Amino acid sequence: MAVLVTQEFEATREEYDQVNEKIGGDTPDGAILHAVVDLGGGKWRSVDVWESAEAFQSFVQDKLIPAIAEVNPDAPQAEEPEILEIQDLQQA
Protein backbone atom coordinates (compact mmCIF):
# COMPACT_ATOMS: atom_id res chain seq x y z
CA MET A 1 0.00 0.00 0.00
CA ALA A 2 1.25 3.49 -0.87
CA VAL A 3 2.48 5.69 1.97
CA LEU A 4 2.83 9.41 2.61
CA VAL A 5 6.19 10.28 4.16
CA THR A 6 6.80 13.69 5.74
CA GLN A 7 10.01 14.75 7.42
CA GLU A 8 11.82 17.87 8.55
CA PHE A 9 15.59 18.18 8.35
CA GLU A 10 18.39 20.74 8.55
CA ALA A 11 20.78 21.56 5.70
CA THR A 12 22.18 24.47 3.78
CA ARG A 13 20.98 24.97 0.22
CA GLU A 14 24.42 23.87 -0.98
CA GLU A 15 24.30 20.67 1.08
CA TYR A 16 20.80 19.89 -0.20
CA ASP A 17 21.91 20.37 -3.81
CA GLN A 18 25.08 18.29 -3.31
CA VAL A 19 23.14 15.40 -1.78
CA ASN A 20 20.73 15.46 -4.73
CA GLU A 21 23.69 15.39 -7.13
CA LYS A 22 25.13 12.33 -5.40
CA ILE A 23 21.77 10.52 -5.42
CA GLY A 24 21.38 11.18 -9.13
CA GLY A 25 18.57 12.46 -11.28
CA ASP A 26 16.68 9.22 -11.74
CA THR A 27 13.52 8.64 -9.73
CA PRO A 28 14.33 6.05 -7.05
CA ASP A 29 12.64 2.66 -7.25
CA GLY A 30 9.30 2.84 -5.45
CA ALA A 31 9.07 6.65 -5.38
CA ILE A 32 5.87 8.17 -6.72
CA LEU A 33 6.17 11.84 -5.73
CA HIS A 34 8.77 14.05 -4.03
CA ALA A 35 8.38 17.67 -2.94
CA VAL A 36 10.58 19.79 -0.67
CA VAL A 37 10.00 23.22 0.79
CA ASP A 38 12.56 25.58 2.29
CA LEU A 39 11.22 26.65 5.69
CA GLY A 40 14.03 29.18 6.13
CA GLY A 41 16.88 29.23 8.59
CA GLY A 42 18.39 26.01 7.23
CA LYS A 43 15.22 23.99 7.87
CA TRP A 44 13.44 21.97 5.20
CA ARG A 45 10.34 19.77 4.95
CA SER A 46 9.98 16.92 2.49
CA VAL A 47 6.70 15.35 1.44
CA ASP A 48 6.93 12.08 -0.46
CA VAL A 49 4.64 9.39 -1.73
CA TRP A 50 6.18 5.91 -1.96
CA GLU A 51 4.80 2.58 -3.13
CA SER A 52 5.56 1.21 0.35
CA ALA A 53 7.31 2.04 3.61
CA GLU A 54 9.87 -0.63 2.74
CA ALA A 55 10.74 1.08 -0.55
CA PHE A 56 11.26 4.36 1.32
CA GLN A 57 13.43 2.74 4.01
CA SER A 58 15.51 0.97 1.36
CA PHE A 59 16.17 4.28 -0.40
CA VAL A 60 17.13 5.96 2.88
CA GLN A 61 19.57 3.22 3.87
CA ASP A 62 21.07 2.52 0.46
CA LYS A 63 21.22 6.00 -1.10
CA LEU A 64 20.24 8.91 1.14
CA ILE A 65 22.29 8.22 4.27
CA PRO A 66 25.51 7.48 2.33
CA ALA A 67 25.05 10.66 0.24
CA ILE A 68 24.47 12.82 3.32
CA ALA A 69 27.49 11.28 5.08
CA GLU A 70 29.67 12.05 2.07
CA VAL A 71 28.50 15.68 1.81
CA ASN A 72 28.52 16.44 5.55
CA PRO A 73 29.63 13.71 7.95
CA ASP A 74 28.55 15.97 10.86
CA ALA A 75 25.05 16.62 9.52
CA PRO A 76 22.43 16.81 12.28
CA GLN A 77 20.20 13.76 12.62
CA ALA A 78 16.89 14.34 10.86
CA GLU A 79 13.66 13.88 12.77
CA GLU A 80 11.98 10.51 12.39
CA PRO A 81 9.72 10.63 9.34
CA GLU A 82 5.99 10.37 9.73
CA ILE A 83 4.78 7.48 7.57
CA LEU A 84 1.04 7.10 6.95
CA GLU A 85 -0.83 4.68 4.72
CA ILE A 86 -2.64 6.44 1.90
CA GLN A 87 -6.31 5.61 1.61
CA ASP A 88 -6.97 7.42 -1.65
CA LEU A 89 -4.39 8.55 -4.20
CA GLN A 90 -5.43 10.37 -7.36
CA GLN A 91 -3.06 11.73 -9.95
CA ALA A 92 -4.01 14.54 -12.30
CA dihedral 25, 27, 29, 34 (to 10 degrees): 120
What is the pLDDT at residue 92? 81
Secondary-structure class of domain 3-85 per CATH: alpha beta
C-alpha of 42 from chain center = 16
What is the pLDDT at residue 13? 96
Consecutive sets of 10 residues in the chain, 92 residues long: mean pLDDT of each?
A: 96 96 91 96 97 97 96 93 96 82
φ, ψ of residue 56 in degrees (nearest 5): -65, -50
Reported pTM? 0.91
Query: Which residue, among 23, 39, 43, has the nearest Cα to 31 in the 3D structure?
Result: 23
What is the pLDDT at residue 26? 87
Domain boundaries in the chain?
3-85
Going from the C-alpha of 19 to that of each of 2, 9, 22, 88, 91, the distances in angstroms are 25, 13, 5, 31, 28
